[in-house]
Amino acid sequence: MAQASVTGDVTEPAGGPGAVARPAPGAASPSPRTDDVISTRGLTKRFRGGQLAVDGLDLSVPRGSVFGFLGPNGSGKTTTIRMLMGLIAPTSGVSTVLGEPMPQSVSSVLPRVGALIEGPALYGFLSGRDNLARFDAADPTADPRTRQRRVAEALDRVGLTAAAGKKARAYSLGMKQRLGLASALLQPRELLVLDEPTNGLDPQGMREIRALVREVAAEGTTVFLSSHLLDEIEQVCTHAAVMSRGRLVVQGTVTELAARARGRLVVRTPDTHRAGEVLLAHKVTEIRITENRVDGELGALAEDALPGLCAALVAAEIRVHGFGVERGTLEDAFVALTGEGFDVAG
């Protein structure tokens, strides 16, 4: 039975990308680490009809992190979140949230969690302000004497103060998303769970929500953020896990995950086609030529081969204006790990 192999803080199931580590039949589930806010072992969800949405997920979310749950639409992210929040039951496996088993501990865990899942459920006939007041009144831990202040502060944090009196049915998709986020921020929480929080927002709105996520994290809240936008994860998150087709591919810090992708060799020159021919002759692969730039994969070449490559370009009388290796990005790492394309907008 494959066991999880660990290098540094990056955990990848043995057997290559997409392989899943599972405990032996009858084995006790490992206890969550005390510094994990979310922990799952073998978490699986198979829907009626046989669709396998989440397959043997082993996830560890460190306390104090901004954790990006990354994967294309349909990769199992929302199903996982719904299991973690006790909204649906897993087919098999175990999960703990804030140190308590789920879904058994829903009543004690959820008051400590702010969540926005699959978009906000709003009362269209109520104003934004009255929607938040309803949400706050449904929280048994909320002091009604300070409700008005909490609602006003939450509206201000997401930039909806001016639209607070407008009926929610008249809100744009982006405004509804902001109001849903405001509902999750009515009270200080130990954990904030956000499912695609920037859906429907324009670029400025995205920047504001990302800044808000950083602010909440700086206040000590662990943030678990699912997204299909690589930009979002790289800009906001400290840690990430990559999902593909319902399986965990890899998890670790964002820096470590990006480092798994080898950087591309970049040559800046006006003699692009001749430079591409020289690099190809020296076993640089996947050559791409754009205006005044040639880049390619070093492949099996070690970085100590770089001086020789530069010398070969100069010997071929190619005008080299720049030469070096650009660091790998999270996008490069994702493609290298899964072979899939990805939405990098954001």
The reported pLDDT for the residue numbered 235 is 85
The reported pLDDT for the residue numbered 332 is 64
Q: At which residue do the structure tokens 């880049």 appear?
A: 295
> CA 246, 120, 157 angle in degrees (round to 5)?
110
Q: Within 10 A of 56 (CB to CB), how many other CB atoms are there?
A: 21
For the chain, helix (H) and strand (E) counts, in that order, are 11, 16
Structure tokens at 40: 């799952």
* Residue 147 and residue 136 in contact, taking contact as beta carbons nearer than 8 Å: yes
pTM, whole model, 2 decimals? 0.72
The reported pLDDT for the residue numbered 335 is 64
Rounded distance, CA 44 to CA 93, Å? 6
Structure tokens at 296: 């390619």
Structure tokens at 165: 């009196």
The reported pLDDT for the residue numbered 16 is 41
Q: At which residue do the structure tokens 């890899």 appear?
A: 250
The reported pLDDT for the residue numbered 336 is 62
Rounded distance, CA 322 to CA 268, Å? 5
The reported pLDDT for the residue numbered 146 is 96
The reported pLDDT for the residue numbered 198 is 85
Rounded alpha-carbon distances, angstroms, from residue 88 to 42, 44, 45, 92, 173: 16, 11, 9, 12, 26
The reported pLDDT for the residue numbered 262 is 62
The reported pLDDT for the residue numbered 4 is 30
Element (H, E) at 210: helix 203-218
Q: At which residue do the structure tokens 């662990």 appear?
A: 222
The reported pLDDT for the residue numbered 324 is 86
Task: Please list the rounded mean pLDDT of every run of 10 residues in the chain (346 residues).
Answer: 34 40 38 76 92 95 94 87 94 95 93 85 94 92 94 93 95 89 91 88 85 90 89 87 89 80 82 92 88 84 81 94 78 62 46
The reported pLDDT for the residue numbered 223 is 96
List of long-range contacts for 165-173, beta carbons under 8 Å, 24+ apart: 165/127, 165/128, 165/129, 166/127, 166/128, 167/124, 167/125, 167/126, 167/127, 168/122, 168/123, 168/124, 168/125, 168/126, 168/127, 168/128, 168/131, 169/124, 169/125, 171/122, 171/128, 172/200, 173/199, 173/200
